[in-house]
Structure 1
């Protein structure tokens, strides 16, 4: 499953683009030290810095509808209204206001004129100029300035405390803590159903009596076969530590928290020795280079990031060197690239197993650009790993579960819950490179997958050919638009059944996808795989809502949940939840007392088969 785009919430624009995947813990104040006070800095000086302009030309939009998605909003602003936005900033999902940045004053004024008074989904929008946000790093420095010539400085947590917050516990205690958290999530789920769906409270109470207070059965947590060094992908930042030394590792905190220092991952338990050696190898290269590391505070410098991918099956290593080109000429960039290849093809690099080298330009995206430019420099274009005995080609930007051995357990849980047979068609929603669907292939009649990232679909098709699997079809497009077409293509006949496997990004599925799944006739079993269970609660509640004008289909019921530990030493855990459709009654009318779910379309027009 490829992770779909998210809405930026960080300010200013270039502050946190190199944040690694596993750096998700908020830094909290620990103790205070004292040092001489410094003069207060200008919190808006960054507006005059090279490479940053759009925060100057920001507007605020208010009175937004309750239910909207980033894809819908971008389509409205950039396609229908032709406003050419530069960046969208939202505080939280469902927030009634947000900020939009533009490239110049004329674009800002045109947007205000177009949007102010515009009616969208029954809401009359309000649009007006917004002040630029202060630089969060400078703001924190100024806020820390005390009286009597003393500055209070927050002491950071260590990198180990930040990235691997549970590493100090035994693995048994980690599993116990995660299981307890999943109980809390399901308790919240039950409470939300009780609050928003009063007509099924009797069902909720009955399930609570059967399942120790939970709305469905919670099975014991599945442990990871590999506890240490399990990550097969990491995005390492390049920067300076608190002593000003060049480091390749992870940020201790984030720009918005007032910390930009980078520390070595040497003592992190979830990083393999192969990765640590590769990090050191690149750190040597950066230190010897005449080019400086990139500073998120000044927007100056070049080296920004190193992405490493490894294969547990072949021991191959892929490296992607990320740089901000600034004003370097093509000849200068070619010189740097040649030096990178030479460094990563040395005897030491070959001993590590580096087989693929890429170069990534990390700079401000142009209109319509969603990913950075990637250029293959040397070696293989992909690495290959295996799950359930199947080979999977992995490209630089592809999503692949970061714990390969635990992924086998995760997918087996989904297969077991689906109870598919030779008469079952499987819908793989947010299929990514096809890993789940291809693992299902031998257990069902056919698999139909959909994914928004075209390159991921190309990888999925290649993976099907690589494993000589012929009963899987993969289609590029937004799941919000294509679920109805997928069901039509499944061509379910009498005596056959349909199962959906949903593995969405952290934010979950858009309400349009949930509506289509609810309204799909013949779809009686759904397996929801969540990497962020708390974020998925809303989706689960919507699957269980009684019939309404939007949710015409008979509701699903949560039957069983299985936690799988994909991330030892961190607080994160995957949860696989089985939903089954209730038996359909002869007459099914929308419930009158349930909360409204969606003000958008109930139906999705048939898609052109050529798209599929």
Structure 2
């Protein structure tokens, strides 16, 4: 017989003590070991909680009164923070955020990875943890006859109209505002997802960190963009640094932002940016890190852990558009990069040419298929770098690593929980995790990246 929850809906819990934060920023309190997740509560705080949604293993509550406040609590500087779902922890000081992220990394390494003695460094944070995102993509809609654009309200598809987002580059705010004004003036209809009608679905804009080049992408439901000449004329006149205006068509009923058809309305197909000494061409569909300042911190750490002397063969699994591969190619003898998305590999090859790098080779396909093929062809890595998606490394890739036995593995992770899981597998297969460096790529959210240095014992 399953154990019944010790609380009922609408129960009040007095003296609730919050001991932790969830991955989406909710405070965690427990009633007889039963966890309740409560928004806007911080570790170390106490108060009265109303149970709003109990289920078998855990429940959700609402903080009715706070009787003890965390020293890391602050007033969120964003006026729409409470409604918007873009950030989770603006009500926490930046020092508190970094401490919470370090604790999260330590906890999952012990709980999931069973790694008791690995050296975990303090999180490398930002000097200025605002205005760091170089890319904005916002849905558009209509409210009271006005054209609106912004992020979705928490747990809904209601668009919160915004004039500015204080974690985005100011230039991106400016671009979005111009597009809103132009569409309002030209009576271009925003997309209605319930009726699957209207024209403009999303506005996406990118601003290059080092060059200041700007790209605007207009995503429409319809194949044609009404008044496109007027739109182009207005954007070119108003936006300094504009290099590219792209039209993307997505006619499907879907939550996916971009469709399959992309065409240049004005300017170039790409904008250019640099990370350190490496130059990148970034297209509308390219995956490119949204916090370039911290990306350099992350990649410098990966390069330090790889400790290349100039004679090594390196394999970069999940190489994307070649960002880490080209960083490594500066000091490696040869780098092989593999990525499942063919367009990303095309971008990676273009970026290698852009940087006059001839010691790097890219191939499209699943890492867990391509790397064993390379191994069978006699290509073996001295150092293997992985930068997988949130779900972590494919099991077959981990098996390949254990078969190939590179002397060193550098694991760049955007999810400490799956990093811990994969480290456990590598440790059981003969590797030792010597150190982990968390890096804060996304201030004001609970996300934390990390680089792990793993050596063959």
Instruction: Report TM bin, short chain.
Output: 0.7 to 0.9
CA offsets 1:307-356 (integer angstroms, 9 cap, x no match): 1111011111101001111xxxx6xx25443233122112x22x3x2210
Contact 2:188–2:226 at 8 Å: present in 1 too? no
* Corresponding position of 1:600: none
Match of 1:574 among 440, 449, 453: 449
Q: TM-score, normalised by structure 2?
A: 0.78
* Corresponding position of 2:303: 415
Shift of 1:226: 4.6
Moved over 6 A (4+): 28-31
- Classify 1:260/1:335 alpha carbon distance in 2 versus 1 (closer, same or farther; 3 Å): closer
Contact 1:159–1:252 at 8 Å: present in 2 too? no
CA offsets 1:120-155 (integer angstroms, 9 cap, x no match): xxxxxxxxxxxxxxxxxxxxxxxxxxxxxxxxxxxx
Distance (whole Å) between structure 1 residues aligned to residue 266 and residue 25 of structure 2: 35
Distance (whole Å) between structure 2 residues aligned to residue 239 and residue 168 of structure 1: 28
CA offsets 1:358-410 (integer angstroms, 9 cap, x no match): 001112289xxx95311111011111111121111111111111111111110
SS of the residue corresponding to residue 536 of structure 1 reads helix
* Corresponding position of 1:248: 149
Matched, 1:234 2:136: yes
* Corresponding position of 2:422: 539
* Corresponding position of 1:260: 158
Distance (whole Å) between structure 2 residues aligned to residue 392 and residue 561 of structure 1: 28
Shift of 1:223: 1.6
- Classify 1:380/1:424 alpha carbon distance in 2 versus 1 (closer, same or farther; 3 Å): same
Contact 2:221–2:252 at 8 Å: present in 1 too? no
Higher strand share: 2
Distance (whole Å) between structure 2 residues aligned to residue 340 and residue 278 of structure 1: 12
RMSD between aligned residues: 2.6
Distance (whole Å) between structure 2 residues aligned to residue 291 and residue 442 of structure 1: 48
> Where does 1:509-520 land on structure 2 (aligned, <5 Å)?
509-520=393-404
> Where does 1:41-60 land on structure 2 (aligned, <5 Å)?
none
* Corresponding position of 1:500: 384
Contact 1:237–1:262 at 8 Å: present in 2 too? no
Q: Which has the larger radius of gyration?
A: 1
Distance (whole Å) between structure 1 residues aligned to residue 198 and residue 393 of structure 2: 38
Match of 2:204 among 301, 307, 314: 307
Shift of 1:221: 1.3
Contact 2:199–2:225 at 8 Å: present in 1 too? no
* Corresponding position of 1:181: 104
Distance (whole Å) between structure 2 residues aligned to residue 264 and residue 565 of structure 1: 25
Q: TM-score, normalised by structure 1?
A: 0.59
Matched, 1:441 2:329: yes
> Where does 1:143-222 land on structure 2 (aligned, <5 Å)?
159-161=80-82, 162-191=85-114, 208=116, 211=117, 216-222=118-124
Structure 2 spans left out of the alignment, 5+ residues = 1-23, 27-36, 41-77
Structure with higher RCO (Cα < 8 A, 6+ apart): 1
Shift of 1:25: 7.4
* Corresponding position of 2:242: 354
CA offsets 1:158-207 (integer angstroms, 9 cap, x no match): 7424322222333222212211221122122334xxxxxxxxxxxx5xxx
- Classify 1:539/1:159 alpha carbon distance in 2 versus 1 (closer, same or farther; 3 Å): farther
Shift of 1:289: 3.0
SS of the residue corresponding to residue 160 of structure 1 reads coil
Shift of 1:249: 1.4
- Classify 1:520/1:178 alpha carbon distance in 2 versus 1 (closer, same or farther; 3 Å): same
SS of the residue corresponding to residue 190 of structure 1 reads coil
Shift of 1:269: 2.1
* Corresponding position of 2:433: 558
SS of the residue corresponding to residue 112 of structure 2 reads helix
> Where does 1:84-163 land on structure 2 (aligned, <5 Å)?
159-161=80-82, 162-163=85-86
Shift of 1:557: 2.4
Structure 1 spans left out of the alignment, 5+ residues = 1-23, 32-156, 192-203, 546-553, 583-612
CA offsets 1:579-598 (integer angstroms, 9 cap, x no match): 2222xxxxxxxxxxxxxxxx
